[in-house]
Structure 1
């Protein structure tokens, strides 16, 4: 049985997911069609969160959603947040400012001079680091970042994203000792949008079939 606080958080998180869907549709960040993902897989929907820094109020509100997930599912004591290049970095910066937590970020490639670091910012041996990214698909970018943080002496047990695309990321991260937290799962977000008519009618069956297919893999 869930305790009262957990039940209240589950309800609040459901409300946050609906608000998130409204924000993304309003900004044009959630689109339906035929898209090729970084992985090479074709998807009937696309989420472009790189738009967010151009909308400061939306970015601030979404940063608050990340903070709420961290407060209720991880705890905020002695954490540092790490931005994942490139879409995760402005999000991590906003989260750092809203939560008043130290920020580091992971480079895509090591510096070619100086200490040839993969991590920018202050990371000390034993620091607890939570990874911040926009989406989780297979979890590849988060796993790469976790490896870099761990190689530099940090501890990584948690990653937070805005949306879990439910394409194996949670399972892949769990195998590396990392728990994935998301403001919303894509299935929940799309189910609510379908209920309120926020998905083109001719795309509903295609999206449902896509979600069923990726979950079965």
Structure 2
């Protein structure tokens, strides 16, 4: 398979995900205040993938993106709370394709009875891939990296649904900050550029207005 054909397949895959997220109203347009206090024209909430079919498809999108990234891992870790169902759905997607991988997640508070502890699922070991929906300030990733290290394993990367490609605390994006501060790669199913491409290919006035708003937002807060 040629490199050009592979790139075209990857672009189509990302466009399919954007369309899927919009259809499920997980990717919404309007006026939303981000954690950084910015007024964003779009918002992504993976918690709204809230039925079996959509969660199954989401897991398949994640698994494909992870495979395409080339990140090598031994198990998945989903930080509470959104990461729990995400990691489970991805593990199922890999299993359907003949790759049975263990997964784990954490409790917000340690359990003082039964098996105790904060880790549920498979024991953390080897190369652990962290699963999340988006990266805003990188706090969740940092806490996950510390927790994984504390349990004798190694965080090998992060997989997210969408990369907003906007400035974090400085001139770098939140994703770039995570890469720099933790020394691990980050892969995403899609990013802001993919959203802009999707909007550019829609031929109606409402979508054109959205395109203008999203482009203005990128000019103000985006990174290359």
Pairwise TM-score range, normalised by the shorter structure:
0.7 to 0.9
The aligned counterpart of 1:180 is 186
**Alpha-carbon distance between aligned partners in 1 of 2:146 and 2:2, rounded to the nearest angstrom:** 34
The aligned counterpart of 1:105 is 105
In the TM superposition, 1:152-191 aligns within 5 A as: 152-167=151-166, 168-175=173-180, 176-191=182-197
**Alpha-carbon distance between aligned partners in 2 of 1:116 and 1:74, rounded to the nearest angstrom:** 35
**Alpha-carbon distance between aligned partners in 2 of 1:143 and 1:190, rounded to the nearest angstrom:** 29
Deviation of the 1:203 alpha carbon: 3.1
**Alpha-carbon distance between aligned partners in 2 of 1:7 and 1:140, rounded to the nearest angstrom:** 37
Contact 2:18-2:190 within 8 A present in 1 as well: no
Task: Flag structure 1 segments of 5+ consecutive residues without an equivalent.
Answer: none
Task: Flag structure 2 segments of 5+ consecutive residues without an equivalent.
Answer: 95-99, 167-172
Deviation of the 1:169 alpha carbon: 2.4
Aligned length in residues: 210
The range that moved more, 152-161 or 34-43, is 34-43
**Alpha-carbon distance between aligned partners in 2 of 1:84 and 1:6, rounded to the nearest angstrom:** 35
The aligned counterpart of 2:39 is 42
Deviation of the 1:75 alpha carbon: 5.1
Q: TM-score, with normalisation over the residues of structure 2?
A: 0.82
Compared CA separation, residues 186 and 129, structure 1 to 2 (3 A) = same
The aligned counterpart of 1:32 is 29
In the TM superposition, 1:91-130 aligns within 5 A as: 91-99=86-94, 100-107=100-107, 109-111=108-110, 113=112, 117-124=117-124, 126-130=125-129
The DSSP-based 3-state class of the residue aligned with 2:29 is strand
Q: TM-score, with normalisation over the residues of structure 1?
A: 0.84
Of 211, 214, 217 in structure 2, the residue corresponding to residue 207 of structure 1 is 214
The DSSP-based 3-state class of the residue aligned with 2:186 is strand
Compared CA separation, residues 147 and 197, structure 1 to 2 (3 A) = farther
